[in-house]
Amino acid sequence: MPKEWSGRQVYTVGELVALLAGELESAFPDVWVEGEVSGFRRAPSGHCYFALKDSRAVLKVALFRTHAARLPFQPENGMAVLARGKLSVFEASGDLQLYATVLEPSGLGALQMALEQAKRRLAAEGLTDPARHRPIPPFPRRVGVVTSLAGAALRDVLSVLRRRSAGFDLVVAPALVQGAECPASVKSALGRLARVPGIDVVLLTRGGGSPEDLWGFNDEGLARFVAAFPVPVISAIGHEVDTVLTDLTADLRAATPSAAAELLTARVEEARTLARSSRRALGRLLSHRLGSLKERLSGGRPGRLRALLESRLERAEEARDRLEERAGGAMRRRLDREAGRLLVCRRALSPEELRRWLRALSDRLEGGRLRLRAAGEGALASRRDRAASLARLLDSLSPLRVLGRGYSVAFDSGGRPVSDASVLSPGDRLEVLFGRGAAACGVLMTRDGDPRALLGLGPRVDGPGPTAVESGPEEAERGREEKGRP
């Protein structure tokens, strides 16, 4: 609220700006403004900020993320647009600002503007360059078709293929070819065809219609999908006057579905025409050569020709007779050899021969069995002797056998063997294991040094004193008394 100062009404800056903002929002809650975009900037938050200007003034504009996401085109500096929104004041800076909710190109539809921008982006990346288009296989073996099963385009394509006897397999992937779901449906159909083995080329087609009916094929994502497809793509959308984005990124554009089918079979038809022409030319050549040969035969010397033919026939008959004679002799010799082998086999298969053969085989088996048994028994005896020798060796190396020779081993309270006296202290308890039996002992004193010296087998090693082990309470008491004597 304004304050009274010396009879004057005074506003703070914030109060005045807020008042102006409220008045402007009430006066201009929904207004259209035409101008040229300047200083367009999209913040990381998704909000867009720019200015609308003409030759007389500049107006700041804010387009928040929710509304910016609905734009079908990309605003650019210098673009003439119509902005709709409410007029207010940005209190932090006091700037007059339009909070826009709708933005449209001025003089050109938003969809057409988005299409032109997509064309420029695709051209900048080289996706519409004819140099990158792949050649269509002249003799495809399997062709994929993406279209509607209910449309006229498929009927036109099938009619042309039947009339021209295409001779290749046709794989149809149905798709929606109109409406908002068209781009996603066509990409899904193309993806299914990409997984079919052996596809050489794909025909993307639909019949004619209004620009709105064909608009799904102006989708930039679909155009990029067509450009990146692994095999060549023919785009035949609408009629001759219709051009969509997929026509620009496909490897070949056909004016109509029927024209696309004729392009697919053009080389096949050319090959058939060439084959028919070659067949006729070959027939004419053969007829001409046969006629020439007949003329030469009829115009030559019949007697000489007949003599030549008879001479060759006689030589052929003579060669045939020799071959027959050689073949007969070879066959007789072969039969004689086979008869002799058969006689030998018959003798070998007589009952007496079989009995002799069986007796000899039985004798061989019995001898082998005896030899195998003798060899097995000898090997087993040798293994027993070696096992016994090894057992004796292991027994001599056993720690129990060492204890039996008068040695003993001591364990601490934790059950661990003690091999070094330095780890012990007077009063520690030990378990001593002998060759027969064990004893619980206590440490009276320890003595460190070389075992040989301690046993008197070498130089004496000085240490803190001898180690004494008690076997019970009495021995421990007697040891303490002796230790206390002077």
Going along the chain from its start, the domains and CATH numbers come out as 3-108 (2.40.50.140), 134-270 (3.40.50.261), 403-484 (no CATH)
DSSP state letters, 323-346: HHHHHHHHHHHHHHHHHHHHHHHH
Return d(Cα 205, Cα 156) in angstroms, integer: 11
Q: What is the pLDDT of residue 17?
A: 81
Return d(Cα 180, Cα 175) in angstroms, integer: 13
Mean pLDDT (the chain, rounded): 81
Q: What is the pLDDT of residues 200-235, one digit of tens each?
A: 999 999 988 888 788 889 999 999 999 999 999 999
What are the residues facing 417 on neighbouring strands? 411
- pLDDT of 397 > 80? The answer is no
Retrieve residue 127's tokens. Answer: 């996706």
More reliable by pLDDT, 276 or 386: 386
Retrieve residue 151's tokens. Answer: 């449309």
Q: What is the pLDDT of residue 349?
A: 64
3-class state of residue 134 by DSSP: coil
Return d(Cα 154, Cα 150) in angstroms, integer: 8
Residues whose CB is less than 8 angstroms from the CB of residue 20 and which lie 6 or more positions away in sequence, other chains included: 89
3-class state of residue 203 by DSSP: strand
Instruction: Tell me which residue of 212, 191, 18 sits closest to 109, measured CA to CA.
Output: 212
> Would you tell me how many other CB atoms lie within 10 Å of the CB of residue 208?
16
Return d(Cα 226, Cα 256) in angstroms, integer: 18
Cβ atoms of 143 and 169 closer than 8 Å: yes
**What is the four-CA torsion angle of 183, 186, 190, 191, rounded to 10 degrees?**
70
Q: What is the pLDDT of residues 240-256, one digit of tens each?
A: 888 899 999 999 999 89
Retrieve residue 355's tokens. Answer: 């009995």
What does the pLDDT average to over 315-329? 74
- pLDDT of 172 > 90? The answer is yes
Instruction: Tell me which residue of 190, 168, 170 sits closest to 250, measured CA to CA.
Output: 190
Q: What is the pLDDT of residues 324-374, one digit of tens each?
A: 777 777 777 776 777 777 666 666 666 777 778 788 888 888 888 888 888
- pTM metric for this prediction: 0.43
- pLDDT of 466 > 60? The answer is no
Percent of the chain with pLDDT over 90: 26
> Would you tell me how many other CB atoms lie within 10 Å of the CB of residue 66?
10
- What b/e string do you get for 293-324 counting C-beta neighbours within 10 Å, with b at 16 or more? eeeeeeeeeeeeeeeeeeeeeeeeeeeeeeee
- DSSP conformational letter for 251: S
Return d(Cα 471, Cα 443) in angstroms, integer: 10
Retrieve residue 17's tokens. Answer: 């700006």
Lowest-pLDDT choice from 108-112, 160-164, 231-235, 287-291: 108-112
Return d(Cα 290, Cα 298) in angstroms, integer: 12
Return d(Cα 390, Cα 360) in angstroms, integer: 45
Q: Decide: residue 246, CB within 10 A, 0-12 exposed, 13-18 middle, 19+ buried.
A: buried
What are the residues facing 150 on neighbouring strands? none
Order the strands of the 438-445 sheet from edge to edge: 409-411, 429-433, 438-445, 468-470
